[in-house]
Amino acid sequence: MSTQTNQTDQTSRPEAAFVLLVLQATFWAMAGLTAFPFALAGQPLMIAFGLASLLLADFACLLGIGLLFRWRWVRGWVIGLESVCVAGSLLLLALPVGANKGPVALMVNLALPLAVVLLVRGKKMRAAFAPPLPRPPDTLGGTDASQTAGPLTSVTVAAWVPVLSTQVSRT
């Protein structure tokens, strides 16, 4: 591993964003499940709303898993999804439609998506999700030992001697 990869892997911001995305996905899943009894009571359109909420929860879980594995495309999708959530929440707060404007609604609908956006933004996160740097050529002049399937050569044996000597000296 290169030094730059070690520095960018030290951040735990993707894991924190994963936890918040899973929390948000559970809220969406519960909203989807609570829509189904209304469909039984004579509102068949609620089935579509419930399924849409469940699919959104599944997508949020997929994005959270992608954050953990540092998939490159996930960071942009997370920022886009959470930005849409923040914009929708601000629109609900501005319009007089009778939406809940209490502290729980503000935390779930505004603060949670905003926290996820703030976690996945920035130079450190951009570097963590950047494509890996090309490996430098082997300093001993031969081919990379991990790419060859042949027998042990003097290059690979010389690379293992310091590792084995440190393990023997520890015991």
Question: Domain extents for the chain?
Answer: 3-128, 138-171
pTM: 0.69
Q: Which two tokens stand for residue 44?
A: 């068949």
**Per-residue confidence (pLDDT) for residue 143, from 0 to 100:** 55
Report the C-alpha gap between 38 and 11 in whole angstroms. 44
Q: Which two tokens stand for residue 144?
A: 């990379």
Whether the CB-CB separation of 13 and 125 falls below 8 Å is answered with yes
- Helices 13-40 and 112-120, axial angle in degrees (round to 10): 150
**Per-residue confidence (pLDDT) for residue 64, from 0 to 100:** 95
**Per-residue confidence (pLDDT) for residue 54, from 0 to 100:** 96
pLDDT in tens for each of the 171 residues of the chain? 444 445 545 788 999 999 999 999 999 999 999 999 998 888 889 999 999 999 999 999 999 999 999 898 999 999 999 999 999 999 988 888 877 888 998 899 899 999 999 999 988 888 888 887 777 766 665 555 555 555 545 444 445 455 444 554 455
Report the C-alpha gap between 107 and 62 in whole angstroms. 23
**Per-residue confidence (pLDDT) for residue 1, from 0 to 100:** 45
